[in-house]
């Protein structure tokens, strides 16, 4: 782990230093847990008391608050416009990622016609099938499977046990976390039979899954290949763990989706959207740019305008929920009675 000074961080992050610019920093922690030689950060005024009590040697603080904090915080500070982003960049400097040496491990199985850049790394137990191409400085972790004809760009990081199925295209600087599957078959079925019986017939899934540059896919997330057209994840999309994206979906650039979201087939989600955990989105919908969908929300129709959308009921006592559920069952009857009363009023 490198040791940096506050001045070193300023050189990378910009901002203004108050206090000792040469204070050495060898790590980072939360305000509560940070000790000597560690960096913390203050997101906003709400956490000022925690910052005052913190044993951190230095803090990253909001530039908007720096003048009012200068006499109240005992630590040296680096004031930046966006302290959360600044702290993220500082963490990357303090904890640089350790990458394995280039080369193909002897325990990997690689087809003879693959094109693997000399600076790439292919780990033990990997299978790289015919015609696959792996770009410069990309790292393929243990037990990954790279299907036939896959194109993997430069500077990608595939953690252990990632599967990229045949023909899929992965852009540059893509991170795929353990157990995620790119290009699995979509749930395409046709019913073959009559009223008295029959069976489901699998519809071959002949499209691809295409991931743009700077995409990150969480552990055990599945992105289905297209049925005919491609499933497309545009540049900068960030996907959490345990997400299902069905065939022929398109996710717009820089959209972020939290864990346990399910997105049914042929749905198009715009750019810069944010989708909360466990949201459910049915198929063949259009969602506009810059839409925020709250956690647990069920989306059953198009969203045509930017904004925040929520459909989940707040928590309540079980007895209250039973009473409310009983009222909901009678809403249709209540609506008819109101319409009848309105007609009577109009006629009177």
Catalytic residues: 247
Radius of gyration (Cα) for the chain, nearest Å?
Answer: 26
Q: Considering only CA atoms, which of 54, 63, 62, 65 is closest in space to residue 28?
A: 54
CA distance to 103, 200, 205, 207, 312, per residue, from 191 (Å): 48, 5, 16, 21, 34
CB atoms within 10 A of CB 231: 28
CA distance to 28, 142, 176, 204, 251, per residue, from 139 (Å): 27, 10, 10, 31, 25
Contacts of 333 (CB under 8 A, 6+ apart): none
- Residue 213, Cβ density class (10 Å: 0-12 exposed, 13-18 middle, ≥19 buried): middle
Long-range contacts of 23-28 (CB under 8 A, 24+ apart): 23/57, 23/58, 23/76, 24/57, 25/57, 25/58, 25/94, 26/1, 26/2, 26/94, 27/1, 27/94, 27/95, 28/87, 28/90, 28/91, 28/94, 28/95
Say how far residue 212 (Cα) sits from the centre of its chain.
14
Q: How many CA atoms lie within 13 A of 107 on its CB side?
A: 8
What are the counts of helices (DSSP H) followed by strands (DSSP E) for the chain?
Answer: 6, 39
Contacts of 112 (CB under 8 A, 6+ apart): 130
Residue spans of alpha helices (H) in 142-202: none
Stated length of the chain? 348
Task: Check if the beta carbon of residue 235 is closer than 8 Å to that of residue 217.
Answer: no
């Amino acid at each position: 782990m490198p040791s940096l000074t506050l001045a070193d961080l300023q050189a990378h992050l910009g901002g203004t230093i108050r206090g000792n610019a040469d204070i050495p920093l060898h790590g980072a922690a939360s305000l509560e847990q940070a000790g000597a030689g560690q960096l913390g950060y203050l997101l906003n005024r709400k956490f000022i008391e925690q910052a005052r009590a913190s044993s951190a040697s230095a803090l990253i603080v909001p530039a908007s608050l720096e003048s009012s904090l200068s006499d109240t915080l005992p630590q040296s500070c680096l004031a930046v416009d966006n302290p959360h982003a600044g702290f993220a960049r500082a963490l990357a400097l303090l904890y640089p990622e350790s990458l394995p040496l280039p080369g193909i491990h002897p325990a990997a199985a690689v087809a003879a016609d693959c094109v693997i850049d000399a600076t790439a790394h292919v780990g033990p137990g990997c299978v790289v099938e015919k015609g696959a191409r792996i770009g410069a400085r990309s790292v393929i972790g243990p037990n990954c499977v790279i299907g036939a004809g896959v194109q993997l760009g430069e500077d990608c990081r595939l953690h252990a046990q990632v599967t990229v199925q045949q023909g899929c295209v992965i852009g540059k600087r893509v991170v795929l976390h353990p157990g995620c599957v790119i290009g699995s078959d979509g749930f395409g079925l046709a019913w073959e039979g009559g009223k008295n019986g029959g069976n489901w017939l699998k519809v071959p899934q002949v499209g691809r899954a295409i991931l743009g540059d700077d995409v990150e896919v969480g552990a055990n997330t599945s992105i289905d290949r297209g049925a005919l057209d491609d499933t497309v994840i545009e540049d900068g999309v960030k996907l959490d763990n345990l997400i299902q994206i069905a065939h022929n979906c398109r996710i717009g650039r820089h959209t972020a989706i939290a864990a346990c979201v399910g997105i049914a087939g042929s749905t198009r989600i715009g750019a810069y959207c944010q989708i909360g955990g466990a949201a459910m989105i049915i198929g063949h919908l259009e969602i506009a740019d810059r839409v925020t969908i709250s956690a647990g929300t069920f989306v059953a129709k198009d969203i045509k305008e930017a904004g925040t959308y929520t459909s989940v009921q707040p928590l309540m006592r079980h007895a209250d929920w039973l009473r409310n559920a009983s009222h909901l069952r009678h809403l249709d009857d209540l609506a008819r009675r109101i319409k009848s009363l309105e007609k009577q009023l109009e006629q009177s």
